[in-house]
């Protein structure tokens, strides 16, 4: 147990040096925490797929999934840093992240490779759709720093999804073993 009293409750906003008003910041922090939770959930899923990938395209997929997982962590860190700059508290516990995430973590176990990657593609699509919406919301609230951050993450994640889509092309991932 932590012997010191809590300095900031998870739903509490501190003042920020950015000149943004509290109602705008509250909405942005809520969206950023959903983004942070989604990034971590997708990270755990992609990393799991990195660990269990098999088959003739093992090495390029293994490397790609590791690169994507690393990018998700980098993006999550930038989002958490922005939350603190805004005076908010970044959601950090797995249970709370699970509640806020826009995607559900795949259940434990190893599934057919194509099915796992298709889930990654669909879940990544939900993330980029939210990033677009949240960037627009930040801009409408005059928070151009958050807008810029989210657009950068959006571009990076769209690139990862585009690459993943190529792995799922009809000429890849041997289908002879699938029903």
Quote the pLDDT of residue 2: 65
Quote the pLDDT of residue 13: 81
Reduced to 3 states (helix: H, G, I; strand: E, B; else coil), residue 172 is: coil
Which class in CATH covers the domain with range 22-167? mainly alpha
Reduced to 3 states (helix: H, G, I; strand: E, B; else coil), residue 151 is: helix
Specify the DSSP class assigned to residue 143.
Answer: -
Quote the pLDDT of residue 48: 97
Quote the pLDDT of residue 9: 74
User: In 3D, which of 114, 1, 108, 129 has the Cα closest to residue 54?
Assistant: 114
Kindly state the tokens that stand for 160: 């990862």
In the block, tokens 């806020």 appear at 100
Kindly state the tokens that stand for 152: 């950068």
Kindly state the tokens that stand for 131: 């990033």
Quote the pLDDT of residue 174: 56
Which of the residues in the chain have pLDDT under 70?
1-2, 171-179
Residue 64, phi then psi, degrees to nearest 5: -60, -45
């Amino acid at each position: 147990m932590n012997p010191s009293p809590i300095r900031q409750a998870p739903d509490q906003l501190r003042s920020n040096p950015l000149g943004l008003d509290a109602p705008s910041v509250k909405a942005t922090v809520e969206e950023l925490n959903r983004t942070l939770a989604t990034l971590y959930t997708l990270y755990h899923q992609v990393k799991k797929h990195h660990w269990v990938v098999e088959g003739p395209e093992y090495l390029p997929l293994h490397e790609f999934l590791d690169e994507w997982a690393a990018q998700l962590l980098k993006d999550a860190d930038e989002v958490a840093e922005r939350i603190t700059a805004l005076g908010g508290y970044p959601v950090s516990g797995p249970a709370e992240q699970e509640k806020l995430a826009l995607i559900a973590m795949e259940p434990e176990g190893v599934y057919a490779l194509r099915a796992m990657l298709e889930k990654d593609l669909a879940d990544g699509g939900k993330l980029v759709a939210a990033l677009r919406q949240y960037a627009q919301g930040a801009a409408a609230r005059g928070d151009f720093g958050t807008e810029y951050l989210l657009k950068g993450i959006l571009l990076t994640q769209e690139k990862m999804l585009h690459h993943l889509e190529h792995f799922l092309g009809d000429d890849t991932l041997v289908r002879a073993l699938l029903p």
